[in-house]
Amino acid sequence: MITLHDISYLRLGCRDLDQMVDFGTRILGLELRERTATHAYLRGDNSAFNLCYIQGDERYDASAFEVPALADLAQAEQELSALGIAVQHGDEAACEERRVDAFISFTDPNDNRIELVYRPHVTGVRYFPSRDAGITEFGHFGLHSRDIERDLAFWTEVMSARVSDRIGDGALLRIDEVHHKIALFSSDTTGVQHVNFQVASIDDVMRAWYFLQEQGVPIVFGPGRHPTSTAIFIYFLGPDNRVYEYSSGVKRITDEAGYVPRHFEMKPSSFCMWGARPNVKEFSE
Ligand SMILES: CC(C)c1ccc(C(=O)O)c(O)c1O
Ligand SMILES: [Fe+2]
């Protein structure tokens, strides 16, 4: 099995890089660390970056996970190849572009682009937010799934993720103590479905609610509280039409051996215990 240490970054294609830098800094509150003609690196913690927007194909995206040792990349390649999954090695230029020492890439059974990285660069310079959104870290992301049982089998049996909870046929998967780092939801497409940043408290979620409205940013769900992770949340749309989420208070699962995943019914009350209704296709009944 492949052991994932943590989420590393997302690479997100976009049509208008300036627009995404403006959204990432002025609205999301991320720090712009570096910018080239085609790439913008933004972060909400001390990593070299969490999100890299890339000028070009807006449908392009890739998600990356850190593995603990260099040997894990070779081991992962062997396991993936044995399953008939083609693996590419990142060359020096591609590693430099990702701020990592080494990586491999492949597509999962849903054609989602996945990268496994060794030694993602961390900075000694603390995250300096461009607005006081209260971001504490890059939290998790959602992935589209066109065949949930197939993809769940891949993520749990090959990538060693564990199911924390299911909502309908969707699944919230953990790779460490945090309730989930990956949310797998049924859809008819591929790629990253939503991007979550953790914020410090309910105050930051509620402040965001007023701020986003003032800025004319479409809010698609919340404010509310997830009964699954118990986090308080708000979801909104970026100009790239991707869904972004702030949440606070995600629970940790410390009793790894004793934890039994729960199966929530596919009802709005399983997504929000306060009564908010999602205006997001993948989260609707
Ligand atoms: C609506 C989605 C997929 C969802 C559901 C539950 C949680 C949570 O328990 O925190 C999420 O973060 C989600 O994004
Ligand atoms: Fe989420």
> What tens digit of pLDDT does each residue of 196-241 get?
999 999 999 999 999 999 999 999 999 999 999 999 999 999 999 9
Residue-level pLDDT at 280: 81
Confidence of residue 3 (pLDDT cuts 50, 70, 90): very high
Report how far ligand 1's centroid is from the alpha carbon of 41 (Å): 25
Angstrom distances, CA of residue 232 to CA of 35, 129, 209, 268, 272:
32, 21, 12, 15, 9
Report the distance separating Cα 73 and Cα 84, nearest Å. 16
Q: What share of the chain in percent tops pLDDT 70?
A: 99
| Atom number of ligand 1 nearest to Cα 235 | 14
Among protein residues, the one whose CA lies closest to atom 13 of ligand 1? 183
CA angle 159–51–6, rounded 5-degree value: 30
pLDDT in tens, 66-111: 999 999 999 999 999 999 999 999 999 999 999 999 999 999 999 9
Angstrom distances, CA of residue 192 to CA of 10, 145, 155, 187, 224:
9, 10, 15, 11, 22
Please give all residues whose CB falls under 5 A of ion ligand 2, grouped by chain where several chains appear.
196, 245
Residue-level pLDDT at 123: 96
Residue-level pLDDT at 10: 98
Residue-level pLDDT at 279: 87
The separation between CA 30 and the C-alpha centre of its own chain, rounded to angstroms, equals: 15
Is the pLDDT at 56 greater than 80, yes or no?
yes
Is the pLDDT at 46 greater than 90, yes or no?
yes
Q: What share of the chain in percent tops pLDDT 90?
A: 97
* Ligand at shortest distance from the CA of 184: 1
* 196 contacts 11 by C-beta, under 8 angstroms: no
Angstrom distances, CA of residue 2 to CA of 24, 31, 229:
32, 32, 25
| Atom number of ligand 1 nearest to Cα 167 | 5
Mean pLDDT (whole number) for 168-193: 96
pLDDT in tens, 116-139: 999 999 999 999 999 999 999 999
Mean pLDDT (whole number) for 162-177: 97
Is the pLDDT at 147 greater than 80, yes or no?
yes
Confidence of residue 9 (pLDDT cuts 50, 70, 90): very high
* Ligand at shortest distance from the CA of 250: 1
Strand partners, 83: none
Mean pLDDT (whole number) for 12-30: 98
Report how far ligand 1's centroid is from the alpha carbon of 229 (Å): 7
Confidence of residue 4 (pLDDT cuts 50, 70, 90): very high
Residue-level pLDDT at 283: 73
Report how far ligand 1's centroid is from the alpha carbon of 146 (Å): 18
Residue ranges and CATH numbers for the domains of the chain are 6-120 (3.10.180.10), 135-283 (3.10.180.10)
Mutate to test the pocket of ligand 1, among 247, 262, 285 (most ligand atoms within 8 A of CB): 247
Is the pLDDT at 282 greater than 90, yes or no?
no
Is the pLDDT at 285 greater than 70, yes or no?
no
| Atom number of ligand 1 nearest to Cα 231 | 10
